[in-house]
Amino acid sequence: MTSPSPQKKKKIAIVGLGVAGSYLLNRLGRDHEVMGYEMQKEGEFQAVCAWGTSKNELSKIMKLLGIDFEKYILFNGKKMVVDLGQKKPARKIPLIGLVTYDKHQLELDLTAGRNAKFGVKATPSLLKDEAYDMIIDCTGLHRSFLPRIKEDLWIPCVEYKVSYGNENNGDVRLPKDDFYIRPFEGLAGYLWSFPLEKGSAFVGAGDYRKRHNAALDEFNTENPGKIVKKIGRPIRISPPKYCEPFFLGNVVGCGESIGTVFPLLGEGIIPSLQCAQLLCENLDDLPRYREAVLKKFEYFNYVYDIIKLKFEGKFSMVRHLPLMLKTYKAMKKMEDRFGLEVRMADFKEIVSTY
Ligand SMILES: Cc1cc2nc3c(=O)[nH]c(=O)nc-3n(C[C@H](O)[C@H](O)[C@H](O)COP(=O)(O)OP(=O)(O)OC[C@H]3O[C@@H](n4cnc5c(N)ncnc54)[C@H](O)[C@@H]3O)c2cc1C
């Protein structure tokens, strides 16, 4: 990373210190005059997410900042079980780098030693007298500094951190000992259980048709554990194509605020970091940033189209095979980045079952 010449040094506000914002605070804070704003209080900061990601890609991204990602890993997955209900045997997808990691700690470490105000909900009027050259909207779902999106599709989600340790004999038995997901009818979302550090897991669910709370209650009744915390927020699944404008005046969006969430899985950590990288590379040329984001996440559009067709009950495996093939081919090329083996048979079976 090269230092910009002195005349290019900018005064930048980064609003929202989640995945994208904490990365940008760390990286841009090296060469520019940067201030971060996060509405959550420092000690109570929650990284609402299931903390699942591909260690291959995260290691590469963090290495460039001099951070060893391996030390944040909580659980290394071997297989992802996709529960297809009573009708069919579960699919077992081999994993090649999918992990859970301490996302909370990594975000805190990225902001350590940088200028940041926690417990401050930034608004355009709050920042208007600060004369920032650039305000980066990393507020995720909130998108507090940019105009509303016309086609804003989001999935409500709830998640529990559950501990399964037996306090009497110290025995630990996770009901699902590896990555586990159970899609909802119409591919409108899924229930998940992702192992964390020894004896605990994130058990959550998100569903466009709002069946997630009932499904979670049922899972937790069948698989009792100690609920350590309950968190949640919706996930935006409209891809960047539908989240324009990306920039307006001195504001530019980055991360989930401009739709960088893979619609099939609600997976936004890696895409939001990739988006932050693109912004750093194009800080002086926002039209080029826009082009780069649209190109990088073009494959989200096919997936989104499949999801929308499923939601509307209009999906046909025969008619929409070209969309399936485009999605499969794009994902297949990125197995490392997804951290799992991408197989057409799994994809077809899941989409046709649900
Ligand atoms: C329940 C759940 C589970 C998920 N699981 C996964 C997963 O396992 N793997 C994966 O890859 N993705 C997952 N995601 C998606 C992923 O977490 C997000 O897409 C990703 O965090 C987006 O990063 P971001 O930086 O754009 O926004 P966020 O990480 O959401 O950060 C936005 C930040 O902005 C702050 N903020 C908002 N408004 C303001 C304001 N006005 N002023 C100051 N601060 C503000 C918020 O407090 C927050 O800290 C999950 C999402 C949810 C909701």
Pocket test for ligand 1, best of 19, 74, 104 (most atoms within 8 A of CB): 19
Residue closest by Cα to atom 23 of ligand 1:
19
- Compute φ and ψ for 82, nearest 5 degrees: -105, 110
Q: Where residue 168 falls among pLDDT bands split at 50, 70, 90?
A: low
Q: Say what the pLDDT of residue 204 is.
A: 96
Q: Over 70: is that where the pLDDT of 167 sits?
A: no
Residue closest by Cα to atom 28 of ligand 1:
18
Domains of the chain, start order: 6-153+236-353 (3.50.50.60), 154-235 (3.30.9.10)
pLDDT per residue as tens digits for the range 84-133: 988 789 999 999 999 999 999 999 999 999 999 999 999 999 999 999 99
**In 3D, which of 203, 187, 201, 277 has the Cα closest to residue 237?**
187
* Lowest mean pLDDT, pick from 43-47, 94-98, 302-306, 335-339: 43-47
Task: Write out residues with Cβ below 6 Å of ligand 1.
Answer: 15-21, 37-40, 48-53, 121-122, 138-140, 142, 144, 157, 159, 204, 232-233, 235, 255-257, 261, 266-269, 272
H or E element that contains 304 = helix 298-311
Q: Say what the pLDDT of residue 219 is.
A: 95
Q: Say what the pLDDT of residue 169 is.
A: 64
The rounded distance, in Å, linking the Cα atoms of 207 and 314 is: 18
59 in Cβ contact with 273 (< 8 Å):
no
Helix/strand/coil for 353: helix
pLDDT per residue as tens digits for the range 8-17: 899 999 999 9
pTM over 0.85: yes
